[in-house]
Structures are given as C-alpha cells and as structure tokens.
Structure 1
Amino acid sequence: MSTADGAWRGDFGRALRAEWTKLRTAGDTGRLLLLAVVLTVAVGCGAAKAVKCPDAGCGQDAVKLALTGVTVGQAVVAVLAALAVSGEYGTGMIRTTLTAVPNRLTVLTAKATVLAAVVLTSGTAAVLASLLAGRHILPGNGFTEAHGYAPLSLADGPTLRAAAGSVLYLALVALIGLGVATAVREAASAVGIVLGLLYLFPVVIQVVNDPEWQRHLQQIAPMTAGLAVQATVRLHELPIGPWAGLGVLTVWAAAALLVGGLLLHRRDA
C-alpha cells in the first residue's frame, strides 16, 4: 500500500468516525428514523386493511400493497439526509469538519457511507415489519391461497426482491437528499427539491395525455421507476423492469452526489 493510499485510508477512517458521532448525537436523528419506520409500517397496515379482495379476485399485488408505506417513509428519510448536511452549515461546524479532514470528497464519501448504513438498517426494520403486518392482515381481506395469494414470505423470490429493493430504494433516496443538500446548503430548499423530484413527477405523468410520453416519464421518474422493484405480478405490464427501475434511481443518486461533490470542492465553506 502506497503512502498516499495509507493517508487516504487514515483520513477516511477519521471522517467516518466523526460523521457517525455527529449523526448519532444529533437530536433529531433517532426521532426521524423512528418516525420513518412508524410511518412506513402504519401506512402499509392502513393500505392492507383498506383493500378487499372478493371471491372473484382483485388483481392486486399483495407485496406492493404491504409496502405502500415506503412512499411516505421516504419523505422522512429525505428530511434526515438534508439535515445531515445543512445543520453543519447552519452552525458553522462545517469549517471545523473541513479543517480536520481537508479533502472534501473524503468528507462527503464518509457522510454518504454513514447515512446509507443508518437508513439501510432502519429501512430493513420498516420493510420487514410491513411485510409481517401484511402477512397477518391481508388474508382477512380475501388475500388467501384460495384466491391465488400465498402468505407473504421472504422465501418467495419476488417478495425477497421487493423487500431488498425497497430497502435499497430508501437508501438511494437518502443519498439524493444528501447530494442536493450539499449543493444548496439549506435544509428547506433541499427537502423541497427532493420531495419535488419524488412526488411531482407522478402528478405530471397523470396530466400528460400521450400514453407514449407517460411511459417515458415513468421510466425516468425517480419514484415511479425506483418503486418498480416492489412489483411481483404482471411484470410485463410495467413501463420499466424492477431492477432497471432501481438502476434509474441509482443514476439520480449518483448525479446528485456528483453535483454536490463538485460544488463542495469548488466553493468556500
């Protein structure tokens, strides 16, 4: 290992420990993570209770139904990601951070690593709890084996893919929020931009009359494309495949981090 590699590893290790300490000790982190989990599970339970499957069948995707709460929990994740950066700019703590670790891209990489790890952990809890709740609620609403619905189980390949993909989806939303917040340096603006990207695209899609344009927009919209990973039935009808859709969201996250990283590197703290 070269001297430069060793120095980078040392800087990254220090930055990683510092970012973990800052995120862990921030007053809002625990509450926001808990809120994200609670909202994700609660909305999933509400959706599972609200939909009935009659004897004739309902054509619903039971797994996607149980994971409906991810569409709400992602908003809290976006807020957490924005606060992870904007809080330091608001207090001026960012200057101390960049003095301790002068390489700004190392700082951003450490922030992204810690944030992704935390969101992956809480997202796993939220998704597993949502599936467990759906497993108990949905059969009472007609989602039974007699109607073609097996109990929700991670032993089922499509269900496992939907669950793992939903966790990755939340982590990617967090990285988009981190990149945007690094670029704009202000929490409210960052949250507004990220929520706009997530929730306004589907609204625009609904008002577009051309089916072909609707399909193209669905293929590039962060939320619509990313949540295709939750689908377990009628995959041929999707505008984009499950993993391809998550790949689109990955491109959005990479672009946000790239822009944020470039601006962080070029301008004063």
Structure 2
Amino acid sequence: MTTPYQQQGAPGASYTSPIPVRNTHLGDALASEWTKIRSVRSTMWTLGVMIVLMVGLGLLTASLVAAADPDLEGQSVLSLGFSGVLLGSICVMTLGVLTISSEFGTGMIRTTLTACPSRGRVLAAKAIVFFLLVFTLTTVTTAIVGAVQVGIVGGEPSGEDWFRATVGVGLYVAVLGLLALAVGALIRHSAGAITIMIGVMLLPLVVAIFMFSESLRDVQEALFQYSIPNQIGVLYDSAVTTSGPTGWQPLWIVMGVTAVAMAGAFALLRTRDV
C-alpha cells in the first residue's frame, strides 16, 4: 500500500496545496502597511505629540486671548490654532521620514520587497496609508480645537473659514508628510531626511529675517511668501505678508512639489539596489 507521503514523493506525482492561491494586489499591500504603521511605537509617539501640541497650544492661545483682549482685529478665531499646527507638522514630517527610512536602516525593506516584489506598489501603499491616517487625525483635531476656541473666545467663522482651517489644513499637513516620506525614500537615512525637511520648513523664514540689505528686498519677500509657516498661515487667513499665495494656492504648491519628489522616489526605488 502506498502512503500519501510516498505518493507525494513519487516520480511524476504532483502536490496541490489546500491553501487557496491567488494573485496579490494593492489591497494586500495596504493591509500590510497598515499593520506596520499601527504597530510601531514611532507612530504612537509622533502622532500623540502632534495631537498634544495642536490641542494644548490651541487652547492655551485661546485662553490667553480671551483673558487679555478678545478683539482679533478682523482675524478669524480659528487662526489661534496656527502655532499648534505649525509645531505639530514637524511631528508629521518626522513620521513621514520614518515610515520608509527605518526599513532601510534595519534592512527590513528586503523582507518587504521579497513579500511584495512590486516596488511601486509598496511605496504607493505606504503613501496611501500614511496620508489617510494623518489627514483624518489632523482634520478631526483641528475641528475639535476650533470648536473649543470659538466657545472660549467667541466669534462666528464663516463656512469657508471652517473648511480651510480643518479640511484644508489637514490636507496640507498630510501632503507635507508625504513630501517627507518621499525625501526619506530618496535619502534612505532617517536623520539626514528629517534634517532636510526641518530645513525646508524653517530655513527660508530664518534666512529672510536676517536679510537687511535693500537690494535683497525682493528675495526676502519671496522667501517670506513661500515659506511653509506663511503658507499654513494663509489657510488660516493670517499670513505674514499681504502678497503671495492666497486661498487654496498653498495646497496646490505643496502638492506640486510633493508630486515631483514622489515621482523621483518611485523612479529611484525601482532602479536602485536595496
């Protein structure tokens, strides 16, 4: 009598796995990346600090304004959330870099690409999961903080003000995080990529502050106008300058820059060794 083991090992015999075999797709990569991002401590710490900064600074600013002088001189009460969002976006950029650079640092990227050989699919899944997570948390947090600020200070922001200060800010911060993710994929080094992103955020504004020469006035104005802090201020209707981007233009600008960076990240990930 021939045993199943002998049948399996016999010449010409075939084996059919009882486990269903199917082609993988983007949904599988998304599930994998969601498991990664929610199970690492860096996500909890960076996004936790982001929420604390947004809520803490937003409510502290509103309380100080209400105690001192609630007259905002024509500015929307929602603009009081600016400082919290500005500092919180640094946490988002840090997480964006770590989402991919940490795998290069530990060598886990080899395991990821073995499980999913399609490198473009891996980067797309990381970007989608990261974007949706950050956008949802930022939008919900800014909406809650804005509602409490209105309750403390008063005022009646328009629907457009609410939309830009919640959904608009959420989109801007999430896309800024995607830019950091793209830089992390390009640099493949956590400290280097984080340093670059902090420089992109703060350096133009710092350089502009110390431009005292009249001949550099136009350059100084451009640096002020297109610095990230000023563009976030535009979404809150509290820009540093009276000229430059207005309305939703800051969002289109950061989306364009991020699209170029992500295209470069896709191209290099497909061609470079890991």
Give CA-to-partner distance per residue, 1:7-57, whole Å, 9 cap, x none. Answer: xx94322211111111111122123222211111111122223334367x6
Q: CA–CA distance in 1 between the matches of 2:208 and 2:182?
A: 25
Q: CA–CA distance in 1 between the matches of 2:229 and 2:73?
A: 25
**Would you say 1:53 and 2:77 are equivalent positions?**
no
Residue 163 of structure 1 is matched in structure 2 by 166
**Residue from 222, 226, 236 that aligns with 1:230:** 236
**Would you say 1:15 and 2:29 are equivalent positions?**
yes
Following superposition, the deviation at residue 266 of structure 1 comes to 1.8
Residue 46 of structure 2 is matched in structure 1 by 32
Q: CA–CA distance in 2 between the matches of 1:19 and 1:54?
A: 45
How many residues get paired? Answer: 247
Does the 8 Å CA contact 2:226/2:245 hold for their aligned counterparts?
no
Following superposition, the deviation at residue 258 of structure 1 comes to 2.2
Normalising by structure 1, what TM-score?
Answer: 0.83
Following superposition, the deviation at residue 223 of structure 1 comes to 3.7
Q: CA–CA distance in 2 between the matches of 1:46 and 1:122?
A: 20
**Would you say 1:201 and 2:204 are equivalent positions?**
yes
Following superposition, the deviation at residue 225 of structure 1 comes to 2.7
Residue 78 of structure 1 is matched in structure 2 by 93
- Comparing 108-117 with 182-191, greater Cα deviation is found at 182-191
Q: Which runs of 5+ in 2 are unaligned?
A: 1-22
**Would you say 1:65 and 2:80 are equivalent positions?**
yes
Q: CA–CA distance in 1 between the matches of 2:160 and 2:74?
A: 19
- Percent identity (aligned): 32
Instruction: Determine helix, strand or coil for the equivalent of 2:38.
Output: helix
Q: CA–CA distance in 2 between the matches of 1:179 and 1:242?
A: 26
Residue 142 of structure 1 is matched in structure 2 by none
Q: Which runs of 5+ in 1 are unaligned?
A: 1-8, 140-149
> Structure 1 residues 169, 84: closer, same or farther in 2, change over 3 A?
same
Q: Matches of residues 1-269 of structure 1 in structure 2 within 5 Å?
A: 10-51=24-65, 52-53=68-69, 58-139=73-154, 150-152=155-157, 156-209=159-212, 210-231=216-237, 237-269=242-274
Does the 8 Å CA contact 1:67/1:130 hold for their aligned counterparts?
no
Give CA-to-partner distance per residue, 1:226-257, whole Å, 9 cap, x none. Answer: 4422217x999342112112111112222222
- Comparing 69-78 with 98-107, greater Cα deviation is found at 98-107
Residue 6 of structure 1 is matched in structure 2 by none
Normalising by structure 2, what TM-score?
Answer: 0.81
Residue 9 of structure 2 is matched in structure 1 by none
Does the 8 Å CA contact 1:226/1:249 hold for their aligned counterparts?
no
> Structure 1 residues 199, 235: closer, same or farther in 2, change over 3 A?
closer
Residue 20 of structure 2 is matched in structure 1 by none
Amino acid paired to 1:23: I
Amino acid paired to 2:153: L
Does the 8 Å CA contact 1:165/1:230 hold for their aligned counterparts?
no
Following superposition, the deviation at residue 59 of structure 1 comes to 4.4
Does the 8 Å CA contact 2:49/2:91 hold for their aligned counterparts?
yes
Does the 8 Å CA contact 1:227/1:245 hold for their aligned counterparts?
no
> Structure 1 residues 59, 151: closer, same or farther in 2, change over 3 A?
closer
Give CA-to-partner distance per residue, 1:144-197, whole Å, 9 cap, x none. Answer: xxxxxx334xx6222222221110111011101100111111211111111111
> Structure 1 residues 219, 127: closer, same or farther in 2, change over 3 A?
same
